[in-house]
Amino acid sequence: MRQSSLFTKTLRDSPKDEVSINARLLIRGGFISKVMAGVYECMPLGLRVLNSINAIIREEMNAIGAEELHMSVLQNKDTWMKSGRWSAAKEVMYQFQDPGGRDIGLGWTHEEPLTAVAKHFISSYKDLPKAVYQIQTKFRNEPRAKSGMLRGREFLMKDLYSFHADEEDLNRYYEIVARAYEHIFGRVGLDARRTIAAGGLFSKYSDEFQVLSEVGEDTIFYCTECRYAVNIEVVSDFGLKSVCPECSGALAQGKSIEVGNIFKLGTAFSEAFDLTYVTGNGDKRPVIMASYGIGPGRVMGAVVEMRHDEKGIMWPDSIAPYSAHLIALGKEKSTHDAAEKLYAALQKSSIEVLYDDRDATAGEKFADADLLGIPYRLVVSEKTIKNREVEVKRRNEEKLNMVKLEDIPKLLLNSRFFTYA
């Protein structure tokens, strides 16, 4: 992509009405645009990041046998009356009457409609287990929408729902999902701890995936030696002192961002909707369920919070909008010819490259490169071209390396990033 043709431009100044780092940097870089508190539009650069996060989530969900579907945003009041959440959740759920006088709500989670639709397809033990997920926009009337992408009123959620014959099968799959979550967060470059939390319907607890960060709204107790972590909400239940119950390491307390949350629902929804199955012996039993959420937009915001400096963002290779930011300096035709050639060669090797072909100063180009945070900066100038070289710099390192022009595609192809937690 030629930077001269990008739909967006970078902004020199941070928006005055944004306090959060993630929103300030994402807006300045042209990744997102603000509509109102908690509502952002995703610009082309931001969508490239979000699509990469979603692709990782899809890979990991598909790998554990979950099927993708797409539920409706418009929700029937009747469906939500069955669980009692039409009234119970009216602070969070957008509810209104349409011009036809029908009571409609906007989906803020999807347990109710998923349980209702599962009744068409689950009736026997032979139909279990099943798992379906979607990546879709959710709406929540969040009173404190001041954290940019971390807390939207309209935001993306990956929500997975699983259906089981018994508790043992539920527990088996729940652990499989927890492992998939660890893969997902590792791959997007977040160190997320599985954290014991309140809020289970079936078991007393749920599991959150928490990233330690000063801007987080949660507080967790975590072990400084192993991965053990507990949300402060349930610390008293465990009688926690200063020592980790698993490894005796020292416990510390810290603020954190919840990027995922998994729940055992048990039969709470299947009983409300009469979602049952017939066992091998002919007995009728309620289906046992669980639900599992991740916020891809919150993940994007959390990555920015965790990986930035005073100049801008530092995307991990796995979700960067482009792998390389090619910059041509000076006015010499030979430099620009060499840059054009390198741009073509990189595209031919299927390397995603943003090419700064604009008529701008070196200072402006470097400042934009730092702000946009693309992992590799490739600078071509009269000086480098004289030796048929390119100056290569990683966004998160200071070191400059001179690399032969012809070695650049190979260098980038070899550095594709895959970390598994």
Nearer to ligand ATP, 296 or 316 (CB): 296
| Nearest C-alpha neighbor of 154 from the set 95, 112, 106 | 106
Length of the chain: 421
* Region 139-168 residues binding ligand ATP, contact defined as CB under 6 A: 140, 142, 151-152, 155, 157
| 210 belongs to the binding site for Mg ion (CB under 5 A) | no
| 409 belongs to the binding site for ligand ATP (CB under 6 A) | no
* Region 103-122 residues binding ligand ATP, contact defined as CB under 6 A: 109
Nearer to ligand ATP, 207 or 356 (CB): 207
Nearest-approach distance from CB 293 to Mg ion, in angstroms: 7
Binding site partner of 157, from Mg ion, ligand ATP, none, Cβ cut-off 5-8 A by kind? ligand ATP
* Region 261-290 residues binding ligand ATP, contact defined as CB under 6 A: 261
| Nearest C-alpha neighbor of 158 from the set 115, 109, 96 | 109
Distance in angstroms (rounded) separating the CA atoms of residues 321 and 303:
13
Whether 31 contacts 46, CB under 8 Å:
yes
Six token digits for residue 403: 């690399």
| 133 belongs to the binding site for ligand ATP (CB under 6 A) | no
Nearer to ligand ATP, 110 or 164 (CB): 110
Binding site partner of 110, from Mg ion, ligand ATP, none, Cβ cut-off 5-8 A by kind? none
Give the count of residues interacting with ligand ATP (CB under 6 A).
Answer: 16
| Nearest C-alpha neighbor of 156 from the set 257, 67, 51 | 51
Helix (H) or strand (E) holding 288: strand 288-294
Six token digits for residue 236: 């008293």
Q: Which of 297, 321, 373, 375 binds ligand ATP (CB under 6 A)?
A: 297
Max distance between CA atoms of the chain, in angstroms, equals 83
| 293 belongs to the binding site for ligand ATP (CB under 6 A) | yes
Q: List all residues 6 or more positions away from 386 whose beta carbon is below 8 Å from its beta carbon.
A: none
Separation of CA 358 from chain center: 32
| Nearest C-alpha neighbor of 122 from the set 291, 293, 288, 292 | 288
Whether 110 contacts 159, CB under 8 Å:
yes
Q: Which of 261, 291, 318, 384 binds Mg ion (CB under 5 A)?
A: 261
Nearest-approach distance from CB 52 to Mg ion, in angstroms: 24
Span from 9-17, 293-301, 358-366, 388-396 in contact with ligand ATP (CB under 6 A): 293-301
Instruction: Provide the binding-site residues for Mg ion, judged by CB under 5 A.
Output: 261
Residues in contact with ligand ATP by CB under 6 A are: 109, 140, 142, 151-152, 155, 157, 258-261, 293-295, 297-298
